[in-house]
Chain A
């Protein structure tokens, strides 16, 4: 019975920790944990962005830089190059990002099959990390639900320069208000090395990733 097991497990834990002083201030003890690891980066913004781009390229994501008013024409260029026809977008993707002449499907409760049959998806992001070449989605503004960036084969992500942090701790701090949101932390396209340790990209999840890095 789960409820009696609950009591049972908790009392076993209590008994197991007989050598540990109880009735201590757990919070204070937690705060006293020494953290001498790097908590902030020291790179200048220019170098920080350069590192971010380098990391993305290392795992095969294409990166393009853009001024804020050039997003739509750049997207048009990229979609033409990919011969993409139908692209799914979050309902709240900024209209000014979207070039004319393409079929953009806002995600009004599209089915999984519909998402699957699209050529790709465009989203923004929550934060990004240079050190690890990471993009974080928090299902927030301009990102949509998780299935959106999971089923289509191509993900075009718009990242603003001021969203890019150098280190993991800085980025996690920036996510403090998103703790309870569904978070997807992307550091490269899906891959496996389960077959003779040979890295194969793109098992599930989008096999192609493209990033537009926008000046802010």
Chain B
């Protein structure tokens, strides 16, 4: 298995990418507006739900139970889906998923597909593979359309184009849709997208989707959306292919009563998204007459094997943690170098890659805990972040200077005699760095502190010394 998360393996480290993002004022304004709006809406709708905490707990337990028996539930799903006329494929990694999907399309002699938003396909870089096979994928989610036409990358799980404002979007549409004129209001831009895509919905005969949930007992698949483009892609084409991460499975139809109540409130601050579509296999005279499910591993079994970090797979991709995260708020999603950004991205991205890449992501957090507060499936993201930091250190992948510093700190803090000795040493060596009673220019790896902060020097008499004198 060769797990891949889009272009994450080659992305710059977080501190470097973050620094660039911090310099982009427009981006920061857009990110702040978007996250503030959704966060406010979410807060209101959660407040109106008296059983919100109980729903979170149930969602967490359902996911935990499902993961503990994942193989059995996947087999149950496969059997039920096949019985209902669907075909189920298993893809060990990104390349295999792309091959399977490309193969299905080629077997029909088609060269165009319409796509519903699916982050899983960004993970496998499906569009790149399709294009290489001379198949044109048309993104139909407005935000993904904006990103695709703009040759860009998504920066948020739920609102992928939030880093663009209306003027920027208008530019992209004018150019790529070959329009003579275009209004400036969001309504005008949405209308342009509607016309541009309508023609494709009615003509293209193969649709590709992801899934929010795959129901084991019935072999059904559920897709939640706002715009109606998913309904188009799920209903109109002759052939439908759904790429589904193995962690998306839930045991029974009944469980939707929990997830459908928490997803939209967390993701977009709505009681329920405008459309949720649920279908099972193939239905006579209604919708696609050929249906394929591609179940994807691509590193999920690696995550599953870690009993502390396994809870990462509870994620229902609501994006609430991104909106709550004070770090994401400053940098936006691109800084994480992965389609999965923000707090969930910081734990999912490196794990899918067996901790070989994206190693700075678990450190891209002040561990404030705001993400855990809002996570509808109660993933203890801060705990997982710390756990993954330990893994990075144990692998020997932390920088050498840091290793030395940590060893020195461990030595100095091991007992009172050493600590007091260390204080005395610092008191001596800090002298050249103290100006106007503060240290403004810390040396070496501590210089990061001095970027924006002064530091009080170790005082002439420490608390311990004062305390001893008192006694």
Residues on B with C-beta less than 8 A from A15 are: 301, 305
**Contact yes or no, B74 A10, CB < 8 A:** yes
Known interface pairs A113-B202, A196-B186, A200-B190. Does A189 touch B274 (Cβ–Cβ under 8 Å)?
Answer: yes
**1/0 per position for A136-152, CB-CB distance to B under 8 A?**
00010000011100100
Cβ of B20 under 8 Å from chain A: no
From B37, B62, B220, B286, A197 is in contact (CB under 8 Å) with B37
From A146, A186, A200, B235 is in contact (CB under 8 Å) with A146
Residues on A with C-beta less than 8 A from B258 are: 35, 37
From B90, B186, B220, B302, A180 is in contact (CB under 8 Å) with B220
Cβ of A184 under 8 Å from chain B: yes
Which residues A5-36 have CB closer than 8 A to chain B?
Answer: 5-6, 8-10, 12-20, 26, 29-30, 33-36
Residue of B nearest to A171 (CB): B257
Known interface pairs A34-B57, A185-B277, A196-B166. Does A147 touch B143 (Cβ–Cβ under 8 Å)?
Answer: no
**Contact yes or no, B146 A194, CB < 8 A:** yes
Residue from A10, A116, A139 whose CB has the most chain B CB atoms within 10 Å: A10
From B54, B161, B301, A12 is in contact (CB under 8 Å) with B301
Known interface pairs A34-B61, A203-B193. Does A145 touch B285 (Cβ–Cβ under 8 Å)?
Answer: yes
Which residues A159-176 have CB closer than 8 A to chain B?
Answer: 168-169, 172-173, 175-176
Per the bound structure, the CA–CA distance linking A113 and B202 in Å amounts to 8
Known interface pairs A5-B91, A29-B65, A197-B34. Does A182 touch B189 (Cβ–Cβ under 8 Å)?
Answer: no
Residues on B with C-beta less than 8 A from A2 are: 89-91, 96, 100
Residues on B with C-beta less than 8 A from A26 are: 69, 72
Cβ of A82 under 8 Å from chain B: no
Cβ of B231 under 8 Å from chain A: yes
**Contact yes or no, A194 B286, CB < 8 A:** no
**Contact yes or no, B260 A10, CB < 8 A:** no
**Contact yes or no, B55 A37, CB < 8 A:** yes
From A30, A182, A190, B275 is in contact (CB under 8 Å) with A190
Per the bound structure, the CA–CA distance linking A2 and B159 in Å amounts to 33
Cβ of B24 under 8 Å from chain A: no
**Contact yes or no, B277 A132, CB < 8 A:** no
Per the bound structure, the CA–CA distance linking A117 and B424 in Å amounts to 85
From A113, A134, A175, A200, B272 is in contact (CB under 8 Å) with A134
Residues on B with C-beta less than 8 A from A169 are: 257
Residues on B with C-beta less than 8 A from A185 are: 260, 272, 275-278
Per the bound structure, the CA–CA distance linking A200 and B193 in Å amounts to 12
**Contact yes or no, B246 A147, CB < 8 A:** no
Residues on B with C-beta less than 8 A from A216 are: none
Per the bound structure, the CA–CA distance linking A19 and B67 in Å amounts to 12
Cβ of A81 under 8 Å from chain B: no
Residues on A with C-beta less than 8 A from B61 are: 33-34
Cβ of A133 under 8 Å from chain B: yes
Known interface pairs A179-B218, A180-B84, A203-B190. Does A19 touch B159 (Cβ–Cβ under 8 Å)?
Answer: no
Cβ of B174 under 8 Å from chain A: no
Cβ of B254 under 8 Å from chain A: yes
Per the bound structure, the CA–CA distance linking A146 and B70 in Å amounts to 32
Residues of A within 8 A of B (CB-CB), count: 71
Per the bound structure, the CA–CA distance linking A6 and B296 in Å amounts to 10
**Contact yes or no, A38 B50, CB < 8 A:** yes
**Contact yes or no, B58 A203, CB < 8 A:** no
Residues on A with C-beta less than 8 A from B285 are: 109, 145
**Contact yes or no, A5 B272, CB < 8 A:** no
Per the bound structure, the CA–CA distance linking A131 and B48 in Å amounts to 11
**Contact yes or no, B228 A204, CB < 8 A:** yes
Size bracket, chain B contacts:
35 or more
Per the bound structure, the CA–CA distance linking A168 and B55 in Å amounts to 12
**Contact yes or no, B89 A204, CB < 8 A:** no
From B236, B257, B270, A187 is in contact (CB under 8 Å) with B270
**1/0 per position for B207-239, CB-CB distance to A under 8 A?**
000000001011110000011110110011000
Residues on B with C-beta less than 8 A from A200 are: 186-187, 189-190
Which residues B40-95 have CB closer than 8 A to chain A?
Answer: 50-51, 54-55, 57-58, 61-62, 65, 68-72, 74-75, 84, 89-92
From A14, A134, A183, B277 is in contact (CB under 8 Å) with A183
From B161, B252, B297, A194 is in contact (CB under 8 Å) with B161
**1/0 per position for B265-297, CB-CB distance to A under 8 A?**
000101111111111110101110000000101
Residue of A nearest to B161 (CB): A194
Cβ of B162 under 8 Å from chain A: yes
From B143, B256, B283, B304, A16 is in contact (CB under 8 Å) with B304
Residues on B with C-beta less than 8 A from A196 are: 30, 33-34, 165-166, 186
Cβ of B19 under 8 Å from chain A: no
**1/0 per position for A62-73, CB-CB distance to B under 8 A?**
000000000000
**Contact yes or no, A146 B231, CB < 8 A:** yes
**Contact yes or no, A182 B74, CB < 8 A:** no
Residue of A nearest to B147 (CB): A194
Cβ of A112 under 8 Å from chain B: yes
From B58, B142, B220, B270, A192 is in contact (CB under 8 Å) with B142
From B162, B228, B257, B281, A203 is in contact (CB under 8 Å) with B228
Residue of A nearest to B230 (CB): A204
**Contact yes or no, B287 A145, CB < 8 A:** yes
Closest 4 CB pairs of A and B: A205-B228, A204-B228, A16-B305, A190-B228
- 15 A-B pairs within 8 Å (CB atoms) are namely A2-B100, A15-B305, A19-B307, A35-B54, A36-B57, A116-B202, A146-B287, A150-B228, A187-B275, A190-B228, A193-B37, A193-B159, A204-B201, A204-B231, A205-B274
13 more contacts with CB within 8 A, not counting A33-B58, A168-B257, are A2-B90, A9-B246, A13-B70, A13-B304, A36-B54, A145-B286, A168-B261, A181-B283, A188-B270, A190-B228, A195-B186, A196-B186, A197-B38
